[in-house]
């Protein structure tokens, strides 16, 4: 096979799928991939290559017609990979044992869900409603959330992938809204000879913040990163060879930073919880006219007081003459890249679900999927969700061990 070094479909993706081409699968799962219908969601969870791997291991995959169209994956590609094309979302939900989605099920999709189905999807903690959890609990769905899947290395692999994309995209987006065509300040992010660069303030030194900082530095911007975790700030300083300025995210430093920032990237986040609100309304009022806020954690509630969720079709609003970009699912605007990233993480987990004789056995043996489970056997299993909605929960290890 002739290799094109400029091909955006990285060789690693193909290698991963080939290395997983056959496992000792002990049961055949009926896996359903619905077309996403919420919040301008353009991603799909599996590529045709991922489907091919699952089918090669004896699983049946059904995908709703045109589910991959926004990622430029055709129905023909999925069909050639061994998937059945479903022409009705309701039919797909009714016949699937395992549903793999990007966004949480909508109200209509929740109605179609069946007892004992397995749902693997994002939860979007900032927008989770009590009624959603109540419906899944009453239906007896086993729900696994992307935000909670945590490997033995302590990393959240799906969250990390999406945060890498989000951090890089956030700066790219901000650059666009600084331009005159977007009624911005009319400035470049990076400076030129004799003209100083723009200032980018990044709230949060996690993965999103790191990739935002890397991208902003690549543009030539002056980069400030703020966090209350000194260890995270030190790690990022070392990783970026001290090319950034760091500060604790207290009221004094936040107030000063908002006053001189051209761009603010909101990336403050604690995994599995709602985002903390670090910037109040008065701080936003101090910002320069035409400056830009990209709240990259709006799907977890946002970390800036003036943020309100927007959509890809209507992405920005102005408040205090500051442009706010608050789209919850930034990676869906690069749907093909994001789908490949999701596929690479999800396929091994789906194979493990198939290798186990039962979901109970799989969750007992696989700590990542066990950590990811937030509803099991009609019980909420996450303390953070229980505290948020003031409802009882049970530890999943106890539920599995007691064989309820």
Ordered domains of the chain (ranges, CATH): 22-155+334-401 (3.40.50.720), 167-327 (3.40.50.720)
pTM passes above 0.95: no
* CA atoms lying within 13 Å on the CB side of residue 111: 4
Local confidence pLDDT in tens for the 404 residues of the chain:
445 555 555 444 444 444 444 444 457 899 999 999 986 889 999 999 999 999 999 999 999 999 999 999 999 999 999 999 999 999 999 999 999 999 999 999 999 999 999 999 998 777 788 999 999 999 999 999 998 999 888 889 998 999 999 999 999 999 999 999 988 899 999 989 999 999 999 999 999 999 999 999 999 999 999 999 999 999 999 999 999 999 999 999 999 999 999 999 999 987 667 888 999 999 999 999 999 999 999 988 899 999 999 998 899 999 999 999 999 889 999 999 999 999 999 999 999 998 888 899 999 999 999 999 999 999 999 998 999 899 999 999 999 988 65
Any catalytic annotation for residue 299? Answer: yes
The set of residues, in sequence order, having a beta carbon less than 8 Å from that of 299 and lying 6+ positions away, is: 124, 125, 126, 127, 309, 328, 329
**Number of C-beta neighbours around residue 232 at 10 A:** 17
pLDDT of residue 265: 98
Q: Catalytic residue among 70, 262, 295, 299, which? A: 299
pLDDT of residue 7: 57
DSSP sequence for 66-123: TTTGGGT--HHHHHHTTPEEES-HHHHHHH-SEEE-SSPP-HHHHHH--TT-EEEE--
Torsion of CA 376, 380, 382, 388, to 10 degrees: 160
- The first and second tokens of residue 157, run together, are 């692999």
Residue 59, SS3 per DSSP: coil
- The H or E element that residue 266 is part of is strand 263-266
CA distance 277 to 384: 17
Q: Catalytic residue among 124, 163, 324, 340, which? A: 124
Any catalytic annotation for residue 75? Answer: no
CA distance 377 to 35: 27
């Amino acid at each position: 096979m002739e290799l094109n070094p400029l091909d955006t479909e990285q060789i690693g993706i193909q290698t991963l799928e080939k290395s997983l081409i056959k496992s000792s699968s002990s049961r055949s799962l009926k896996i359903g991939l619905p077309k996403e219908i919420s919040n301008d969601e353009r991603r799909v969870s599996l590529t045709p290559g991922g489907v091919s791997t699952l089918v090669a291991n004896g699983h049946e995959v059904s995908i709703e017609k045109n589910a991959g169209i926004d990622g430029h994956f055709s129905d023909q590609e999925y069909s050639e990979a061994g998937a059945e094309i479903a022409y009705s979302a309701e039919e797909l939900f009714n016949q699937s044992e395992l549903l793999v989605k990007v966004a949480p099920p909508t109200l209509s999709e929740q109605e179609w869900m069946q007892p004992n189905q397995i749902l693997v999807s994002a939860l979007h903690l900032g927008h989770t409603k009590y009624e959603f959890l109540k419906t899944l609990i009453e239906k007896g769905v086993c729900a696994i959330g992307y935000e909670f899947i945590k490997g033995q290395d302590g990393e959240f692999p799906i969250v990390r992938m999406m945060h890498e994309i989000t951090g890089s995209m956030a700066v790219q987006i901000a650059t666009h809204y600084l331009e005159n065509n977007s009624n911005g300040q009319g400035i470049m992010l990076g400076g030129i000879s004799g003209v100083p660069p723009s200032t980018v303030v990044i709230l949060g030194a996690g993965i999103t913040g790191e990739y935002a900082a890397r991208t902003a530095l690549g543009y030539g911007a002056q980069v400030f990163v703020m966090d209350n975790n000194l260890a995270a700030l030190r790690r990022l300083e070392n990783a970026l060879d001290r090319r950034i300025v760091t500060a604790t995210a207290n009221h004094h430093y936040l107030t000063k930073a908002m006053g001189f920032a051209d761009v603010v990237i909101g990336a403050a986040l604690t995994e599995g919880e709602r985002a903390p609100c670090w910037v109040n309304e008065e701080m936003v009022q101090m910002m320069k006219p035409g400056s830009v806020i990209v709240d990259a954690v709006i799907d977890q509630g946002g970390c800036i007081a003036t943020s309100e969720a927007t959509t890809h079709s209507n992405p920005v609003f102005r408040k205090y003459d500051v442009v706010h970009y608050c789209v919850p699912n930034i990676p869906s605007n690069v749907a093909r890249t994001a789908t490949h990233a999701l596929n690479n993480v999800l396929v091994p987990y789906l194979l493990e679900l198939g290798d186990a004789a039962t979901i109970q056995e799989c969750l007992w043996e696989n700590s990542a999927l066990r950590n990811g489970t937030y509803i099991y056997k009609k019980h909420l299993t996450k303390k953070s969700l229980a505290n948020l909605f003031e409802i009882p929960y049970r530890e999943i290890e106890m539920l599995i061990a007691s064989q309820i």
